Amino acid sequence: METMLRDRRAALLLVGPALLIYSLIVLVPVVWSLVYTLFEGNVLSGFQFVGFQNYTLLVRDPSFWQAFAFTLKYAVVVTIGQVGIGLLLSLLYVFYLGKASGLIRTLIFFPLVLPTVAVAQLFSKIFEIAPQYGLVNSLLQGVHLDGAIQPWLGQGGTAFWVIVIMDIWRAMGFYAVLLFAGLVEIPGDIIEGARVDGATGWRLVRYIVLPLMTPILFSSLIFSVNGTLKVFDSVLALTGGGPGQTTTPLTLSMFNTAFSNGQYGYGSTIATALAIMCLLVTLLIFRSARRDVA
């Protein structure tokens, strides 16, 4: 009876279009990109084989390391912020709001669906200084903290934090829902039992709730790190990588190298470094999660 479901011709016909377009536009270019790392040039000037020169260039390139450091710092800070605040929110939903949390969950999730470019334009207006003060500077003026008024996006140090705040603002509600889903899976009688045994407040969370949430916590960390290491839209739309190179992540550095300087080979090398970085970090979190659970 199952012979029909084993019809290879039908299977091929159904899966064929997907496989074809996916191979041509995703798989082949990935391999192609790896080949590009051994060449230099671009689509207009033609390509030249240079061996491993791009890789040696990468290791010695200070602007690569600057972008690398920014990416890492940004990913660590934003991941901690997104997952950390998400965790606090999820605890709030379950232990304080209970069944009433639906509406609040929905509202706090909201910013995630908005286009990053639009949100970034909004934030650049919020932190604007010229020609007029934005929301933040106006508020500071309003409470007579004129000394604190500054060009938030015009300085590398503060611009970093504006990007961080924006991306935490965008995604905290998302991680809250993700972790909430893990939290409600914990059987109520385990919590009740722990309460009867005298575990309350922080101790209850630390020794009972968190250990039971480990799998979903680590998944959230992996999603967040993978998303933040690839940050592009937020930075481009908010600061354009500036002032100077101070807020340029690897993705933007790759983009500029390829399209402003016309160096496809070197651009691909940066992209490869980024891909390896994502893979390593994911494996690292995955392994530490395994050890923790076991």
Which of the residues 88 through 127 are near another protein (CB under 8 A)?
89, 92, 94-99, 104-118, 121-126
Among 51, 142, 198, 201, binds another protein (CB under 8 A): 142
Stretch that binds another protein, among 61-69, 74-82, 133-141, 155-163 (CB under 8 A): 133-141
**Helix-helix angle 116-126:135-142, to 10 degrees:** 30
Considering only residues 149 to 168 of the shown chain, the ones binding another protein according to CB under 8 A are: none
Spatial neighbors of 73 by CB under 8 A, at least 6 apart, are: 160
Considering only residues 226 to 285 of the shown chain, the ones binding another protein according to CB under 8 A are: 226-227, 229-230, 232-233, 236-237, 251, 254-255, 258-259, 264, 267-268, 270-272, 274-275, 278-279, 282
CB atoms within 10 A of CB 220: 23
For another protein, what does the binding mask look like between residues 8 and 37, x meaning CB under 8 A?
Answer: x-xxx-xx-xxx-xx-xxxxxxx-xx--x-
Instruction: Give the residues across from 89 on adjacent strands.
Output: none
Alpha-carbon distance of 176 to 172, in angstroms, equals 6
Closest residue by Cα to residue 273 from 68, 27, 48? 68
Q: Smallest distance, Å, CB 5 to another protein?
A: 5
| C-alpha radius of gyration, the chain, whole number | 24
Closest residue by Cα to residue 89 from 78, 80, 99, 101? 101
Considering only residues 44 to 83 of the shown chain, the ones binding another protein according to CB under 8 A are: none
Q: How many helices (H) and strands (E) does the chain have?
A: 14, 2
Asked whether the beta carbons of 213 and 179 are under 8 A apart, the reply is yes
State the number of binding residues for another protein (CB under 8 A).
111
Nearer to another protein, 126 or 160 (CB): 126
Q: Smallest distance, Å, CB 57 to another protein?
A: 17
Looking at residue 40, the DSSP 8-state letter turns out to be: E
Considering only residues 167 to 206 of the shown chain, the ones binding another protein according to CB under 8 A are: 169, 173-174, 177-178, 180-182, 184-188, 191-192
Alpha-carbon distance of 219 to 288, in angstroms, equals 12
Nearer to another protein, 77 or 165 (CB): 165
Nearer to another protein, 17 or 157 (CB): 17
Distances (CA, A) of 86 to 10, 26, 105, 215: 45, 33, 11, 15
Nearer to another protein, 7 or 52 (CB): 7
Q: Smallest distance, Å, CB 225 to another protein?
A: 8
